Structures are given as structure tokens and as C-alpha cells.
Structure 1
Amino acid sequence: MNILRKLATSLMFLSAAGAAAAADGNRALGWGSLFSNDALGDGKDRWRSAALVVSHVRGDGWTGQLPDRFGALVEYRFRTEMITPVNVASPSASDRRYVGALSFGAHTHFQKGATEMSAGLDFVFVGPQTNVDQLQDSFHGLFESASVNVDGFQVENAVYPTLTFEAGRKFDVGATGALRPFVEVQAGAETLARIGADVTFGSFGQGALMLRDNPTGQRYSGIAGDAPLGTSLVLGGDVAYVADSQYLDQAGITHKDMRARLRAGVHQQLRRGAVFYGVTYLSEEYDSQPEGQVVGSLSARLKF
């Protein structure tokens, strides 16, 4: 617990430190984003329905590899997510409660020897205070989908400070492949421990800062690398032991102790940008969930 307290204290000062360091050479190094939606996957509009993450990376510079110092490279992360019951117009009393989440945080990325690490603190806001349900209802109106009527069926208003730590190591596989096993621990909105791996065939991620999406585990670039033109295939998977979930437990929904994710994607490097599309299978998260789901993810980086 002492380590967690020290980590939390350090991360809380990252944002202020980043602003103070701007006068000492700290500068913008890159942006990254990933949009996920089940309309891009199985198209059934339920559970992990939609998410967007936007990352801004700052530091003294980028050489194509992580610095060896904690706090030298900082990612400022904004994320929103819509986690829904099966029927958002008339939810069943036995289904999971609606979660409209907004989170803001700072993550530092660094390397010790051959081990890549990241540590971050996010403040996750949930409940009607976020107005995410109204945003989703507006989107549904544009596409003539079912209205979102979850009044009284959301998780309660709360703010959950959430710590995340990941460590991974990359191994070359043949001439163009790479295998990266990793472990992750998270404590806060959901508390879990995860182990998994990602495999890349091609140049995706070459010389880039790669970041991980929270709900899908898909990786996206926060600093563009120097990958040559061409197509890359990415595969990955992980399993997690879930100790608790504020998204489920507070509503009396029994969470499953184990979760699994399987993912695949294609990255196309173009002359004036890059495009990524991926799909992720998410296993059941609570006891009464009848099956898993498939969500799709999209990211684009274009130069004008």
C-alpha cells in the first residue's frame, strides 16, 4: 500500500509538473485517439457500446524509444465511455445499470532496461452528472435509433481515482514481427490484474509511442513513428482477474471474476497518414450476461 500511495502522489503532480516544465523545454510531441463502437463490430448496441480516448503527449523530445526516467514523458488522457443495458429505451431490472463515464488523467511512459512501463492516474466521473446519456440520446436521434431513457437506471454520481500500471517487453519475431507480453494492474473504478500479449506482423508501431485503450486493449500511437508504407496485422489477447467493479457491484449485479479479450486489427501506413481498424471480442462481465460481444475500433492520422 505504501508503494501505491507514493505512486498516486507522484502522478497527481504530473500535470502541474508538466505545465511548469514547459518553460524548460517541455513541448508537445504528439496526439493519438481511438474510437470504439459495437456498431463497428457486432452491431447490437449493448453493454460496452461506445468509447473515445484522446491522448496528448508532452516531453523534452522523442528519439524513437522510451526515456529511462519516470515523468520525463507524460500523456494527458481524456476518455469517455457509454456502457449500457441491452435495451436503453426500456431497461430490464435484471440488466446492468447504465454507465456514462468521463475521465481525465496523466500517464507517464518510461523504460527500465528492456522493460517498457507506464503508470497513470485518472479521475473517472460517472452517473447522471456526466450527461453522457443525453449525448448518446442525441446520437441515436441522428441515426433514428432507439431513444435513451435510463432515468433512475444509472450508476450513482461518483468520482473514482483510478491507478493503472503496465509493464511489457518486446521480442522480435522473424524479420518484421514483434511479440510483446505484458502485465497490468488497475485499482479504482474497476480493480483487476491482467496478463496478455500483443503480436505485430509488419512495421506498425516502429519508432512510435504506443498507448493502450482501456475497454478493448487495442493499441494506438501517441507519437507517430517512422513506419514505411504498407500494411500491418496486429493480434492480441489477455485475461484478467477482477476483484471489484464499481460499475456493477454498487447496483447489486454480480461481476464475473475472470474476463477475457481477443483482438485483431489492420494498420495501413499511407504517404500522408495512417488508418487503423480493429475488432475485439469481450467476454461476459457479469453473471446474468448471456454472451460476450464484439466491438470495432477505428483510428486515423492524416497529414494535410
Structure 2
Amino acid sequence: MNKPLLALCAFLSLIPASLSAQEQRVTLGWGRLLTNDILGDGRDRWRSGSYSLSRVRGTEWSGALPATAGQILEFRAVGETIAPADLLVADPNDRRFVGALTFGLHTHFDWHGIETSLGANIVITGPQTGASDLQSNIHDLLGLGEPQVYDTQIDDAFYPTAQAEMGRRIALSNAELRPFVEAQAGVETFVRVGADLSFGGFTREALMLRDGPSGQRYRAVAGSRTSGLSLVMGGDIARVFDSHYFEDGDAAQPNDTRSRLRAGVHWQGDRSEVFYGVTWLGKEFTTQPESQMIGSVNLRLNF
């Protein structure tokens, strides 16, 4: 079993039993989202791939957030690979390879009608994550050339990272609009504003979480579970102040602003559901020649 998978499993299994017993918490739901540029523009580069996994615990879910922080807890684990456009030949003008693992604890609550999320994460980077080893093994399995970019990847490090998001749901005639503001300080420091628009029952009375790499929202606790198709779309722009995913002195440096546009389709059946979304990512660093498209998928199939 590879290092990232071991770390994800270990994190999710180490839920404090005393906390669970004291507050009579139960698992309200799981959220997961797989994102990869192969599912978007079909090219293995830059924001190459990620997997977000969340376990949500609380005393109950009534279809709306509680008014008090700490009643709903989300245990989050994210594995992400960021890569230059060419893995086989190092390009001094491209960004460095990044392997990152994130483990965090977040709480979700309603603050005077505003959906609020506060979280504390630890982001682990470098060869210690095992991301480069895993990708190298995949290349060997497929008979591809040996990547030459791992020797210059971002170094081993641990970055405490704080995260907050505030949004407000606005009901429209047959849709729901949710403007939001997000702030993060740590491995990357930025302030982001944006909005999400949804048609159908996908987000109705559900606890929705935001995927960091793509910005897509994924459902962790189901609400009305209305059968049929739902459409979601959104966009945001961030002011970036710092990023430890880049090295001082490199030609590639983070842009001051970062933009995203996204859309997705969700199908809900009696027992199963499928989500697929695409996200356009604007140029993230100074020497990036073009934008990219990544895809996200979530399958819940019960037979």
C-alpha cells in the first residue's frame, strides 16, 4: 500500500473516541471527489490530480446548519499532485513538481443566516508524501519513460494552514444562488470571492463542501435526495499573497490573481448518484503559457 493511501486511512481512523462518546456524535455522511486533468483537457500537467475525502460527524442533521460552532465536525483528507507540463524533461521555465497531503478539522455552522466554515489543516509536502514514488511506479507499470523532475520537486515541509468560508444561500424561483468569500493563510495565502448557482435538488437541505483544487462543491450529507438531474455552475477570483508551492528565484512565480469557472451535472436515482464537473483554471503562475481544464467525478452506486 502506498504512503498517501496509508496516511489517508490512518487519519480517518484516528477519530477521538472520547469526543464521540461525550457528545453522542454519529457519522452523518461521507464526502468524496476525484479530480484529474485527464478528465478535463486530457493532459497530465499543472493541477494534475487530487482526491478529497471527508467524514462528517455530529449529533444529527436536520437539513440546516446548527447555530453553534463545533456541533458539526468535518475530518478532511486531501491528496494532490501538481506537476510541470513535461515530466520526462525538466523545463526551467515551468513550475516544480509538488506532492501534497492535507489533513484537517473543520466545523460548519450558521452565523446569523450566513453559512460559515472554519478549519485548521496541516499540509505536508515533498518526497515524504510518496506522491512522486507513486507516479514513478505508474510510469513503470505503463512502460513510460522515467520522470526527471522529482529531484527538483518542492522540499519536505509541514505547513499549518487556517481556512474560512462564509456564504449565503439566496432562493430564486427555480434555482439557488450562493455568493461566498473565502480566506486561507498557510501553505498558500489568499482571499477569494465568488458565487455558485444550482438548479435542481442536488444542494437542497444538504451539507455541501468545497474542493480546494477545483472549487467544485461536493455533497457530504444528503438532504432531500430529489431524484433527477441537477445543474451547478460557479466562478471565483482570488488575490494571492503567497504560495509555498513555488521557490524564490525560479522563473515560475505565482500570479497575483487566480480565476476559476466551473460547471457540473448531478444525477440522483433511488439508490445511486453520479456527479461530473469541469473546471477552467486560469493561468496560475507567471510563465504558464495557457489555462487548463480539469474534470471532477463522484460515484455512489448501490445495487
CA distance in 1, matches of 2:140, 2:278: 26
- 1:250 to partner: Cα distance: 4.1
Residue pair 1:50, 1:83 contacting (<8 A) in 2 also: yes
Q: Secondary structure at the match of 1:198?
A: strand
Q: Secondary structure at the match of 2:86?
A: coil
- 1:137 to partner: Cα distance: 2.3
Residue pair 2:96, 2:246 contacting (<8 A) in 1 also: yes
Q: Secondary structure at the match of 1:65?
A: coil
Map 1:153-302 to 2 at 5 A: 153-175=152-174, 177-250=175-248, 252=250, 253-302=252-301
Map 1:18-97 to 2 at 5 A: 19-24=17-22, 25-97=24-96
- 1:140 to partner: Cα distance: 3.6
Question: Once the two structures are aligned, what percentage of the paired residues are identical?
Answer: 48
TM-score normalized by structure 1?
0.91
Q: Gapped runs of 5+ residues in structure 1? A: 1-14
Q: Secondary structure at the match of 1:42?
A: coil
CA distance in 1, matches of 2:16, 2:193: 31
Q: Secondary structure at the match of 1:152?
A: helix
Residue identity matched to 1:37: N
Q: Secondary structure at the match of 1:20?
A: helix
Residues 251/32 of structure 1: CA separation in 2 closer, same or farther (3 Å cut): farther
- 1:227 to partner: Cα distance: 2.2
TM-score normalized by structure 2?
0.91
- 1:300 to partner: Cα distance: 1.4
CA distance in 2, matches of 1:45, 1:134: 16
CA deviations on 1:214-247 (whole Å, 9 max, x unpaired) are 0110000111222211001101000000001000
Q: Gapped runs of 5+ residues in structure 2? A: 1-12
CA distance in 1, matches of 2:225, 2:80: 30
Count how many residue pairs are aligned between Structure 1 and Structure 2: 289
Residue 117 (str. 1) matches residue 116 (str. 2): yes
- 1:182 to partner: Cα distance: 0.1
- 1:270 to partner: Cα distance: 1.1
CA distance in 2, matches of 1:112, 1:232: 27
Residue pair 1:81, 1:102 contacting (<8 A) in 2 also: yes
CA distance in 1, matches of 2:92, 2:139: 22
- 1:141 to partner: Cα distance: 4.1
Residue identity matched to 1:206: R
CA distance in 1, matches of 2:46, 2:206: 32
CA distance in 2, matches of 1:298, 1:292: 21
CA deviations on 1:96-128 (whole Å, 9 max, x unpaired) are 110000111111000012100001111100011
- 1:303 to partner: Cα distance: 2.9
- 1:251 to partner: Cα distance: 5.9
